[in-house]
């Protein structure tokens, strides 16, 4: 069942077009991530869904209820939508208990029990209820902000880059905990982020925005392995894009003949591989099908080493170095000759 529907949303600020006709459907109880570079329109889209902005044209429906029809909108406080901003926006002069219960009327039955229940939902100790926000860690503050948004039992939860200020390890742990909480509560969620890895790991559906429009929408794995175009491919992660000749599901390129995910077309195409699909062999005599390359640079990153490799027998004009990811346990030296084989299929751009 569809929870949220966006139809042909347009929004401009003077001569600047922020949204140029956005259509999106979000399933009930699902998690959707809207990802894109700065200025792509993702925050404007979120603000229109929340009711903080009105579209110039287009419609927003939540659970079949019309929330916006062009400039005519239902006010934000009447939409039943929870919102967690980037910095949490907790009230510094209020205790945690008062922050969590801010949206609950004082005469709410069993109000204190409801606040304690919300603290438990976001895995925070009730002993923190009398603390002030400055006495909490960044991750704890974000959980308090989430509890406050959950207090009114929203139909839809909007998360506006809520993890960006957290340290790397805490960010991943908090993101996972929030995803599990929202899934258990069955709350439809939209996350706006500029972090591609965050979008791919958090969501059931990813929407890539570019220049005020949705470039591609789909499951995270589909977008990562089968992006619509080179720009989307590069935005979602490192990509090796090569020209190739396609025939009967095989692509002839600088890496030799490799399997492709298109068996219908033939002729000149562009193909994409992810760096982890390129496998290195230090002993170049064991596999006659491997291409030979020379290591130009090696960046040790702990468990993974990122290598820049020049193909030794590449066709003229196709000799740009390739990015290859290898295990950090066996890092080839700069100048070493290596064999390169491809794992899986190359993606053929439409």
Measured N-to-C along each axis, helices 138-150 and 168-185 cross at an angle, to the nearest 10 degrees, of 20
* Topology annotation, domain 2-232: Rossmann fold (3.40.50)
Reported as a single tens digit per residue, the pLDDT across 93-142 is: 989 998 888 878 787 888 888 888 888 878 788 888 999 988 888 778 88
pTM: 0.85
Per DSSP, helices labelled H in 151-264 are: 168-185, 196-202, 220-225, 230-235
Strand partners, 232: none
Reported as a single tens digit per residue, the pLDDT across 6-65 is: 999 999 999 999 999 999 999 999 999 999 988 899 999 999 999 999 999 999 999 999
Q: Are strands 250-253 and 256-259 parallel, antiparallel or unpaired?
A: antiparallel
User: Distance (Å, rounded) from C-alpha 313 to C-alpha 213?
Assistant: 41
The three-state secondary structure class of 121 is: helix
CB 233 within 8 Å of CB 323: no
pLDDT at 265: 93
Q: Where are the domains of the chain?
A: 2-232, 238-348
238-348 CATH choice from 3.40.50.2300, 2.40.50.100, 1.20.950.20, 1.10.1240.10? 2.40.50.100
| Res 275 pLDDT > 60 | yes
Q: Is residue 71 classed exposed, middle or buried when 0-12, 13-18 and 19+ CB atoms within 10 A define those classes?
A: exposed
């Amino acid at each position: 069942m569809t929870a949220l529907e966006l139809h042909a949303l347009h929004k401009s600020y003077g001569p600047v077009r922020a949204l140029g006709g956005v259509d999106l459907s979000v399933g009930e109880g699902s998690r959707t991530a809207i990802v894109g570079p700065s200025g792509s329109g993702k925050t404007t889209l979120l603000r229109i869904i929340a009711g903080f902005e009105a579209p110039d044209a287009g419609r927003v429906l939540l659970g079949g209820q019309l929330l916006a029809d062009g400039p005519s909108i239902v006010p934000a406080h009447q939409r039943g939508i929870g919102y967690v901003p980037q910095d949490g926006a907790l009230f510094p002069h209020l205790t945690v208990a008062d922050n969590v219960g801010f949206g609950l009327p004082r005469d709410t039955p069993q109000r204190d029990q409801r606040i304690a229940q919300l603290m438990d939902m976001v895995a925070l100790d009730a002993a923190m209820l009398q603390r002030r926000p400055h006495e909490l860690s960044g991750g704890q503050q974000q959980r308090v902000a989430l509890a406050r948004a959950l207090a009114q039992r929203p139909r839809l939860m909007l998360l506006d880059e809520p993890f960006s200020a957290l340290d790397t390890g805490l960010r991943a742990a908090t993101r996972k905990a929030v995803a599990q909480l929202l899934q258990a509560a069955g709350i439809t969620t939209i996350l706006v982020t500029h972090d591609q890895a965050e979008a791919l790991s958090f969501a059931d559906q990813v929407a890539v925005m570019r220049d005020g429009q949705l470039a591609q929408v789909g499951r995270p794995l589909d977008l990562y392995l089968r992006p619509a175009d080179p720009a989307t491919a590069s935005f979602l992660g490192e990509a090796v894009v090569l020209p190739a000749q396609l025939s009967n599901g095989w692509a002839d390129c600088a890496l030799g003949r490799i399997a492709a995910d298109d068996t219908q077309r033939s002729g000149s195409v562009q193909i994409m591989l992810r760096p982890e699909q390129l496998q290195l062999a230090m002993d170049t005599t064991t596999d006659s099908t491997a291409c030979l390359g020379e290591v130009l640079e090696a960046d040790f990153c702990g468990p993974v080493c990122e290598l820049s490799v020049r193909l030794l027998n590449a066709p003229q004009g196709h000799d740009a170095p390739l990015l290859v990811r290898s295990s950090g346990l066996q890092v080839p030296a700069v100048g070493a000759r290596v064999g390169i084989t491809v794992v899986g299929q190359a993606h053929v751009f439409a």
